[in-house]
Structure 1
Amino acid sequence: MSTVIEQAVEARLVAAAPRMSTIPATLRYDMRDPFAVRMSFPAPATLEGVDVSWTFARELLAAGVREPAGSGDVRVRPYGFDRTVLEFHACEGTAIVHIRTGELRRFLSTAATLVPVGDEHLYVDLDRDLAELMRDVS
């Protein structure tokens, strides 16, 4: 059984410097980091011209498809009947993308089959995480 789910999504860029109106993005969920979702954007869609990945709570994404959620670097809210807005705030600026809500719900549903919502704590490996943190400590 795979421990990682990746799903390609089409993001419609609303506000940012790159001149791409539609960009490919990838949603990723790894049961070894059960509380997090990663969203990656390819280099041509970023200000720096390098691949960019944002990590945020799965719970934030799930809440944001229903009602506005988030107050930090990542904010999610419904938009119209079939879109969800994701806002990514950084020192360099803000990127706002629209994604079909159905795509996000499908991703969340698939992630829930891997790690049921509410059971995330059962998949946390504190010993591994602590060892990783301590690896670079001299």
Structure 2
Amino acid sequence: MEHVSTRVVMRLITDATHSRDFGVECHYGPDDPYAVRLHFGAAAQDAVWVLSRELLLRGLRGPAGEGDVHIEPGADDSLFIALRGKDGIALLEAPSAPLARFLTATEELVPAGCEPSHLDWDSWLTALLSA
């Protein structure tokens, strides 16, 4: 099964004068058509955040998100992503262009609105009932 992935250098902003750049692997596959996985690797003890593809798309155009994830465009072709976890909030700044190209590739793989046709409902129901 085909998947889409890309590496994006993001900046973790720790305060007004300190930040740190690191690579984030963005992954998408039709086996989980609503989700984009961000793999932070060794920079964050191999943390993986699963975000809604739709949320990322909306965040490229304007402020989006409720709860633990907020996304909004910044100046100079950047995107801010705030992730709230048990240890606090991580504020990331990422370039918009590579994320937009990545999201376009995901839509070529699974067009928006066609996600349900890619779900394996039988396996999902079996897993739910066995839990």
Q: Partner of 1:105: helix, strand, or coil? A: helix
Q: Partner of 1:132: helix, strand, or coil? A: helix
Alignment partner, residue 9 of structure 1: 8
Query: Is 1:31 aligned to 2:30, yes or no?
Result: yes
Number of matched residues?
129
Q: Deviations over 1:57-85 (max 9, x none)?
A: 10000000110000111111000130001
* Cα drift, residue 122 of structure 1: 1.3
* Cα drift, residue 20 of structure 1: 6.2
Unpaired segments ≥5 residues, structure 1: none
AA aligned opposite 2:47: V
Aligned-pair Cα RMSD in Å? 1.6
Alignment partner, residue 56 of structure 1: 51
Conserved? CA contact 1:38–1:55, under 8 Å: yes
Conserved? CA contact 1:84–1:101, under 8 Å: yes
Alignment partner, residue 132 of structure 1: 127
Alignment partner, residue 95 of structure 2: 100
Q: Partner of 1:104: helix, strand, or coil? A: helix
Q: Partner of 2:61: helix, strand, or coil? A: coil
In the aligned structure 1, how far is the partner of 2:112 from the partner of 2:76?
Answer: 25
State the TM-score, normalized to the length of structure 2: 0.91
State the TM-score, normalized to the length of structure 1: 0.86
Unpaired segments ≥5 residues, structure 2: none
In the aligned structure 2, how far is the partner of 1:124 from the partner of 1:86?
Answer: 27
